[in-house]
Amino acid sequence: MKALKIENFKGLCLIDELNYQSLDKLDKTILLNLVNLALTEEFTIDEYDESLLKNEAHRIIYKSVSEKLNGLHQKRKKFNDESDNVFIEEYEKYKV
């Protein structure tokens, strides 16, 4: 599923399964949804291309968010494994 895309010279972010909104309206709830999506196999985004984004704010936001989400997506296996191990250690510590 495409989390970020460039369309009509604007950066857009996925807000639910079918709808996108302008990047300049990005809030913490949408960002959290994008992070969760980055931890899945289905995650994709349009590659950052400055020439396709006319608005300077969209350029800055798109570049920053896309770099962070791509980095997380590439490390998703390690992140998920570490998260699982934290709970296993705690479970083993307190199990009867």
Residues of the chain scoring pLDDT < 70: 96
Position 96 scores a pLDDT of 63
Position 51 scores a pLDDT of 94
Distance CA 47, CA 51 (A): 12
Position 71 scores a pLDDT of 94
Domain ranges of the chain: 2-94
Position 43 scores a pLDDT of 95
Position 90 scores a pLDDT of 75
